[in-house]
Structure 1
Amino acid sequence: MGQKIEFMVVDDHPLFRQGLVSVIENYERYKVIGEANTIDEAIKIVDAHPPQILLVDISLHHENGLELVKIVHSTHPTTFQLVVSMYDEIIYASNALKAGAQGYVMKQEAPETLMQAIETVLNGKIYLSQSMHERLLASLISQDTKKPQVDPITQLSVRELEVFRLIGQGFGVSEIASALNLSGKTINVYRDNIRHKLSITDAGALRKFAIKWMQSREM
């Protein structure tokens, strides 16, 4: 048997991470050579022994996993990266690809879908769900129209979207700051950035818009 394809798994939920390792190592030609739950841990392992493919979550103990994707893409460009996350693909997939990932798969997908995503990425192709492929195609087509329909939420960075979601869940500045381990001043900066990007005049209007948007996602 030939040399095994080496994986690394980065996720801050131990049970999910262990389950992911188990699914991967059910295949004889795959081997997990490292696990991490923070960006610093992951970088140390990757620098010491770069895997052929890195599976990474977006949320890592209040850190942004896409920052890890950017770093690895810059320092180890031959390492494939697949984002495996609970966060909505429609919102985050584009940012993941821009950061340097080769694919995006939701955590709730079946193991068979995950393995299909892994195989696709290892073959040098981009993996997205069928619905996301169709959405991107529709977006490309809409560029030829006079007024393409673009969801303004896609303008937000990953951290801005986290703040926006928490606003939509009814949390105040101090609560959001505590949840994200940031200062209230920093949250206010993010909130102002969000308002400008969404062309919303004040914090009250932003709160109403965020709550309405969150409710629409739950339908």
Structure 2
Amino acid sequence: MIRVLIADDHPVVRQGLRTFLDLQDDVDVVGEAADGAEAVDLVASLAPDVLLLDLKMPVLDGLGTLVRLGERGLRPRVLVLTSVSDREDVAPAMRAGASGFLYKDIDPAALVQAVRAVHSGQVLLAPEAAEAMLSGPVSPPAAAGAGGYAASLTDREREVLTLIASGRSNREIARELAVAEKTVKTHVSNVLMKLGVQDRTQAALYAVRHGLA
């Protein structure tokens, strides 16, 4: 059973989410919070597996909630569910510990699948959120020593990871580094394996969270 806490300042939204999620055999909505501060307190007392978190809330907003959860050592899987489409919100939320970033226009059945996916350990982004992550500004790879698995990357693999995080294709990376595209494919495979991630989007998320991009 997946224990879910809903944090949203709109009662109608909370009720709608609860009504639909409670229909699922494997989901149990254990509580609702109307603001970020209440969400943190309920996470501490109810220990949900997944927190559905709106970004724009009174008292403490979604990003502040993520930060405070981290400060208190509370580690639910957090799925941001917001109606706000500001691209600049995506990277800070993922860097602060969110496991997914979706928008409220998502199909209800897809939302349930997202809750299950995030609970199982996957990182999930709406297409617009993934695009925002991959098209953001990229810093020089000087900070690439940060993050546990990144230490095992070679200098060239760190360069490739930085370029992945900038949204470059294998062909574009090959052109940038003046190497064969086949060589880039090998580097990308090695980066994914060493970071323990499944795809380029997750690699880009890792880079953002650990100061590599």
The bucket for the TM-score relative to the shorter chain is: 0.5 to 0.7
> Can you give the 5+ residue segments of structure 1 that lack an aligned partner in the other structure?
147-219
- Runs (4+) off by over 4 Å: 142-146
Q: 1:139 aligns with which of 149, 166, 169?
A: 166
Q: Distance in 2 between matches of 1:90 and 1:119?
A: 25
Structure 2 residue 40 is the aligned partner of structure 1 residue 40: no
Q: Distance in 2 between matches of 1:129 and 1:6?
A: 22
Q: State the AA in 2 paired with 1:26.
A: L
Shift of 1:134: 5.0
Structure 2 residue 53 is the aligned partner of structure 1 residue 56: yes
Equivalent residue runs for 1:21-40 within 5 Å: 21-40=18-37
Q: Distance in 2 between matches of 1:47 and 1:138?
A: 34
Q: Distance in 2 between matches of 1:61 and 1:106?
A: 19
How many residues are aligned here? 143
Q: 2:111 aligns with which of 107, 111, 114?
A: 114
Determine the structure 1 residue equivalent to 2:80. 83
Shift of 1:23: 1.6
Q: 1:103 aligns with which of 100, 106, 109?
A: 100
**DSSP-derived class of the 1:60 partner:** coil
Percent identity of paired positions between Structure 1 and Structure 2 = 29
Q: 1:19 aligns with which of 2, 16, 36?
A: 16
8 Å contact 2:7–2:54 — kept in the other structure?
A: yes
Shift of 1:77: 4.5
> In 2 relative to 1, CA 26–139 (structure 1 residues): closer, same or farther, beyond 3 Å?
same
1:89-130: CA deviation from partner (whole Å, max 9, x where unpaired): 633221210111000110111112212221221121110123
**DSSP-derived class of the 2:168 partner:** helix
Q: State the AA in 1 paired with 2:7.
A: V
Determine the structure 2 residue equivalent to 1:9. 6
- TM-score, normalised relative to structure 1: 0.58
Determine the structure 2 residue equivalent to 1:185. none
> Can you give the 5+ residue segments of structure 2 that lack an aligned partner in the other structure?
135-163, 178-213
Alignment RMSD, CA only? Answer: 2.5
Shift of 1:7: 0.8
8 Å contact 2:36–2:58 — kept in the other structure?
A: no
**DSSP-derived class of the 2:4 partner:** strand
Structure 2 residue 144 is the aligned partner of structure 1 residue 128: no
Q: Distance in 2 between matches of 1:98 and 1:111?
A: 26
Shift of 1:34: 1.1
1:111-164: CA deviation from partner (whole Å, max 9, x where unpaired): 122122212211211101235435525724289659xxxxxxxxxxxxxxxxxx
Q: State the AA in 2 paired with 1:33.
A: V
Q: Distance in 2 between matches of 1:102 and 1:118?
A: 10
